[in-house]
Amino acid sequence: MDFQMRQDKIFVTYESNGLTGARRVLEASGAAELFRPGMKVALKPNLVVAKPASSGATTSPQVVEGAIGFLKDCGIADITIMESAWAGDSTERAWQVCGYRELEKKYGVRLLDLKKDRTRSVSVAGIKIEICASPLEADRLINLPVLKGHCQTLMTCALKNLKGCIPDNEKRRFHSIGLHRPIAALNLVIRPDLILVDALCGDLTFEEGGNPLEMNMLIAGKDPVKIDAYGASIMGISSPEIEHLRLAEEMGVGSSIILPDTVFEVGEKKIPARLNSLPRAARHLEQYIEARDACSICYAGLIHSLYRMEKQGKLRSLKGKIHIGQAFKNMRGTGIGYGECARGFDITIPGCPPRGSLTDL
């Protein structure tokens, strides 16, 4: 089924293979209408450090390959992958470690290190910002962030990923002037035409990876505020808690409102959770869970919620285990159920997957 690509819609697919999942969600979203032969298209992944996607830190080359194949089908020949690793790391090394040199050879795409790019100076929302010129000069820009936790901003996704489009000295300055407001302002200047979120495997805690948590999910849309609000809700975080998201909405970048008809799901979501692959920071949280045939997206959301409760000192208030998984369908019970399958328990976080935190109880 084809949908018109609209600013107020989000398209989601559940997939462990980034290549097929990226193509599926882009085709279903109607994104082809954005592209015409002869256009220059830029892809902006998250290669903050030189670590493979399995670490939870970087955009999977499979997802980017799926996007490239989709663009080729749209008649696009001029494709540039552009990125700047964080200050202190090498983008050139990230190209190699993260598998992007192979994409360059296979598809003839260009790799552009934005650390070496020309810059433009702009003033927006009362802030002067130096911005790399190439993302602004593309006919179409596709933002390819990773949905993951962040030690300073709780989460990072579409809005914050554009920080890779500024030079290193500006990245440092963003931190010195408060980080959140300049990130929001930056999104008033750089306006991606399409966002494809790699939520296959994001880090639970930290932008640099090391505690990867499988979610097996890809998200497409046009509104970065709405995309980030949706991603946050899956992680059990409310939009107002993420300051740069709240500020971006106030500045008019987009809307965080997610209505019942906002999200279109493509395909099945029943990818089993690999319970023996929890990140180090979360393994002890298994003691709070009774999982039976749980799907990866629901299980990941539950782990995010438990981890946040622990950081807030609220885990001790839990009484009994939290029930999650398809084996609990049509069952009644006392205690807490997480997700649609466990809605028969006397206390539940509803949804499939849930978009709420245990702290909402």
How many Å apart are CA 41 and CA 140, to the nearest integer? 5
The residues with which 266 forms a beta bridge, in sequence order, are 13
Which residue among 266, 296, 329 closes a domain? Answer: 266
The pLDDT tens digits for 66-87 are 999 999 999 999 999 999 998 8
Query: Do 214 and 83 share a structural domain?
Result: yes
Q: Give the Cα separation of 185 and 162 in Å (integer).
A: 11
In terms of Cα–Cα distance, which of 224, 214, 109 is closest to 159? 224
Query: Is the same domain home to 233 and 344?
Result: no
Domain that holds residue 208: 10-266
232 and 154 inside one domain: yes
List, in sequence order, the alpha helices (H) in the chain: 18-29, 61-73, 91-97, 100-107, 133-137, 158-161, 168-176, 180-189, 224-234, 243-251, 296-311
Model pLDDT for residues 188-225, shown as the tens digit of each residue:
999 999 999 999 999 998 888 899 999 999 999 999 99
Residue 135 lies in a domain: yes
Number of domains in the chain: 2
DSSP for residue 180: H
Q: How many helices (H) and strands (E) does the chain have?
A: 11, 16
The answer, yes or no, to whether residue 7 has pLDDT greater than 80, is no
Alpha carbon separation from 26 to 39, 77, 102, 252, 310 (Å, rounded): 18, 18, 22, 26, 37
- The pLDDT score that the predictor gives to residue 112 is 98
On whether both 188 and 301 belong to a single domain, the answer is no
Note whether 186 and 152 are same-domain residues: yes
Q: Mean pLDDT across the stretch 280-293? A: 93
Residue 2: inside a domain: no
Residues 97-132 have pLDDT tens digits of 999 999 999 999 999 999 999 999 999 999 999 999
Which residues 6+ apart lie within 8 Å of 36 measured at CB?
74, 75
Tell me, what's the pLDDT at 3?
44
Is residue 82 in a domain?
yes
Domain membership of residue 4 (yes or no) is no
pLDDT band at 4; cut points 50, 70, 90 = low
Indicate the pLDDT class of residue 263, thresholds 50, 70 and 90: very high
Same domain for 247 and 309, yes or no, is no
Identify whether residues 255 and 282 lie together within a single domain: no
One domain, residues 286 and 185: no
With cut-offs at 50, 70 and 90, classify the pLDDT of residue 88.
confident
Domain final position from 266, 288, 314: 266
Place of tokens 């009994």: 320
User: What's the confidence (pLDDT) of residue 208?
Assistant: 86
Residues 120 and 185 in one domain: yes
Residue 1 located in a structural domain: no
Whether the Cβ atoms of residue 17 and residue 271 lie closer than 8 Å to each other: no
What CATH number is associated with residue 204? 3.40.50.11440
Out of 241, 266, 291, a domain closes at 266
Q: CA 211 → CA 206, 279, 304, 336, distances in Å?
A: 8, 5, 12, 26
**205, 85: one domain:** yes
Determine the Cα–Cα distance for residues 163 and 45; give it in Å rounded to an integer.
Answer: 11
Find residue 324's DSSP bridge partners.
Answer: 291
Residues 316, 234 contacting (CB under 8 angstroms): no
Say if residue 119 is in the same domain as residue 63.
yes
What is the average pLDDT score of the chain? 94
Q: pLDDT tens, 27-69? A: 999 999 999 999 999 999 999 999 999 999 999 999 999 999 9
Contact partners, residue 84, CB within 8 Å, separation at least 6: 91, 113, 114, 115, 117, 132, 164, 165, 166, 167, 168
Residue 5 in any domain: the answer is no
Q: Of all residues in the chain, what percent carry a pLDDT higher than 90?
A: 84
| Of 231 and 208, the one with more pLDDT | 231
Q: What is the pLDDT of residues 148-187, one digit of tens each?
A: 998 888 899 999 999 999 999 999 999 999 999 999 999 9
Task: List Cα–Cα distances, 34 to 70, 259, 343, in angstroms.
Answer: 12, 24, 40
In a domain, 3, yes or no: no
Residue 2: is its pLDDT beyond 50? Answer: no
Specify if 323 maps to a domain. yes
Q: Exposed e or buried b for every residue in 16-49, given b needs 16+ CB within 10 A?
A: bbbbbbbbbbbbbbbbbebbeeebbbbbbbbbbb
Can you give the pLDDT at residue 1?
32
Are residue 69 and residue 109 in the same domain, yes or no? yes
